Amino acid sequence: MFVEFWGAAIPSKKKLHVEVNERNEYVHVTQVALPVDAVSGRNSLILRRGDEVYVLCTLDLDKCAQASLDLVVDVNFTLSNSGTNQLHVTGLRQPGGPNIERIPVEGPAFIHPPMVGAPKARQA
């Protein structure tokens, strides 16, 4: 299987549209990092896939300058940067094929279990 490096720098307050050949290609997003000349401030990486919108991570130079991701996308998507710094996103682009098993997803992508009872107060 042929795999190639994929990466992009997303400027502050900008979007990056990623085209994926939906019949036989995957983009695996594995890392997001602030650049070496970053300044303090929060920077969120946001994924839009169709009508779905997800915050993948929020980076802050003083707290967390990079994050590992394990996200495989097989449809066109958009990454946007809501922060004051550029975000560097890296990963892999790989062909799919008949050997890749597709798992159909129905309903919401994330299902939150119902909360049972009230949260317990911490005891000193």
pLDDT beneath 50: ranges in the chain: 98-99, 103, 105, 109-113, 115
What is the residue whose two structure tokens read 């975000």? 87
DSSP symbols for 2-46:
--EEEEEEE-TT-EEEE---TTTEEEEEEEEE--TT--SSEEEEE
Q: Would you state the pLDDT for residue 111?
A: 46
> Side chain identity at 54, as an amino acid letter?
Y
Q: What is the pLDDT of residues 31-40, one digit of tens each?
A: 999 999 999 9
Question: Where does residue 47 fall: left (phi above 0), alpha (psi -120 to 50 degrees), or beta otherwise?
Answer: beta
